[in-house]
Amino acid sequence: MFKTFHKGGVHPPENKLSAGRPVEPFPVPATVAILLSQHMGAPAKAIVEKGAAVKTGQLIAKGEGFLSGNIHSSVTGKVSRIEAVTDASGYKRQAVFIEAVADEWFDDINTDTLLDKEIKLNAAEIINKINESGIVGLGGATFPSHVKLSVPRGKKADFLIVNGVECEPYLTADHALMLEKPGEIMVGIEILKKALGVTQAHIGIEANKPDAIALMQKFASEYTGVKVHPLKVKYPQGGEKQLIKAITGREVPSGGLPVDVGVVAFNVGTVFAVYEAVQKNKPLIERVVTVTGKNIKNPANFRVRLGTPVAGLIEAAGGLSENTGKIIMGGPMMGKALAIADIPVVKGTSGILLLQDDEASRNKPQPCVRCGKCVAVCPMGLEPYLLMPLSQKNEFDRLESEHIMDCMECGSCSYICPSARPLLDFVRSGKNNVGKIIRSRKKQ
């Protein structure tokens, strides 16, 4: 039996069409639009102006808020404009546009691919380097990594957990990365262990990637205190709290953080970015993106410079077919549907998924038949059938006491409902409202 979390979960068809495709370097585009907001927290502040010449890897915006991160140029060229562009959420946000001319790397960034195992920096230097390099969680939450590594006073980390689960159907970016860069990921783990002052690291990988499990196991055997855990294939196994539960049996308390139970977790993509930042001095300017869908001719895993337009990726994978109904940034369970394909890749972009018309349409909602399936699948132990009408009726106090804020927006409830009720839509809006109330209460 593989380890897993114990409460709820669903098993959507995996559809890993791009599994087994190597990571292909995607050509540097002629123009990139680098969003200033690619992390949680406040947007970074641009430090370059129109007309400035920048090199690949050069700092172009400083993260100033608590949960924000630095942003670097992903190409070499000239800043053509700084203006708003539509992002994945459909809102206009500031971006630095750069016309690429060449690919000259800034300063002393090391672009060779030799595996560099020796860790020279101490813990504080590592954290600082990660901060400077603009590394945020690449799993999609885009939480700044240096913040996670700065364990608050009075708390202690016992383990590092590495998330190689990739439980979203269709996505294979992390899988491909593990197959291609196992040595680098191991060194990244050692770096993070050093930064956290822990001796144990656990890597969780869903059992549907046996090649990645075997390879990581082989590489892990060269190190002490690094263990690979094959996990049951169940969505959302890659949810941070679910992963921690599966591997350690510990339950992150409601409203708490992993470090409250002595754990800090990073996605494998983030671990690789840490390796590159610390060992090669390379800031986060590119990432692996899966481009996939049943109508995509050549499903692929691309290594893409940030700011590359999504439309270009789709073109390279075989183009948009007639009956494409939806373009999703991310996976089908938690990704965002895009209104247009002219959206730049950001740090949190794990995949681009094209759904056909028939896959994209939702069924008409019917009355709730009280089957309890939404309750059974909710990994957080909530009651979506109840939260939906409470949210419709604006009963915020009840929503709060029913723990609506614990919802991780995994979508399992909407996915399973036989009456096609849009449960998460309403839970989300309820969460927004209750969140506002909680924040305003804190301010008083």
* CB 129, CB 260: distance < 8 Å: no
* Residue 385 interacts with other proteins (CB under 8 A): yes or no: yes
* Residue 180 interacts with other proteins (CB under 8 A): yes or no: no
Applying CB under 8 A, what is the total number of residues that bind other proteins? 74
* Residue 435 interacts with ligand SF4 (CB under 6 A): yes or no: no
Q: Which range touches other proteins (CB under 8 A), out of 44-52, 100-108, 224-232, 412-420?
A: 412-420
- In angstroms, how far is CA 48 from the centroid of its own chain? 27
Q: How many whole angstroms separate alpha carbon 370 and alpha carbon 319?
A: 43
Burial-class residue 138 by CB neighbours within 10 Å (0-12, 13-18, 19+).
buried
Tokens 């992903």 -> residue: 74
* Residue 326 interacts with other proteins (CB under 8 A): yes or no: yes
Helices (H) and strands (E) in the chain, counts: 14, 17
* CB 431, CB 405: distance < 8 Å: yes
Min dist CB 254 to ligand SF4, Å, is 12
What residues numbered 371-430 form the site for ligand SF4, per CB under 6 A? Answer: 371-374, 377-380, 382, 384-385, 407-413, 416-419, 421, 423-424, 427
What residues numbered 208-267 form the site for other proteins, per CB under 8 A? Answer: 241, 245, 249-256, 261-262
Beta bridge partners of 93: 85
Binding residue for other proteins (CB under 8 A) from 42, 121, 151, 368?
368
What residues numbered 2-31 form the site for other proteins, per CB under 8 A? Answer: 7, 10, 12
Residue 12 binds which entry of ligand SF4, other proteins, none, CB below 5-8 Å type-dependent: other proteins
* CB 368, CB 397: distance < 8 Å: no
* Residue 334 interacts with other proteins (CB under 8 A): yes or no: yes
* Residue 376 interacts with other proteins (CB under 8 A): yes or no: yes
Count of other CB atoms within 10 angstroms of residue 298: 14
Residue 384 binds which entry of ligand SF4, other proteins, none, CB below 5-8 Å type-dependent: ligand SF4
Secondary structure letter of residue 364 according to DSSP: P
* Residue 382 interacts with other proteins (CB under 8 A): yes or no: yes
Nearer residue to other proteins within complex by CB, 284 or 423: 423
CA R_g for the chain: 21
The residue type at 92: K
Q: Which residues of 266-297 are buried (b: 16+ CB within 10 A; e: fewer)?
A: bbbbbbbbbbbbbbbbbbbbbbbbbbbbebbe
* CB 28, CB 55: distance < 8 Å: no
Residue 256 binds which entry of other proteins, ligand SF4, none, CB below 5-8 Å type-dependent: other proteins
Q: Which range touches other proteins (CB under 8 A), out of 18-26, 115-123, 344-352, 420-428?
A: 420-428
Binding mask 58-97 for other proteins (x = CB under 8 A): --------------------------------x-------
* Residue 369 interacts with other proteins (CB under 8 A): yes or no: yes
Binding mask 352-381 for ligand SF4 (x = CB under 6 A): ----------------xxxxxxx--xxxx-
* CB 423, CB 414: distance < 8 Å: yes
Binding residue for other proteins (CB under 8 A) from 1, 49, 118, 367?
367
By DSSP bridging, strand 53-54 and strand 76-86 are antiparallel
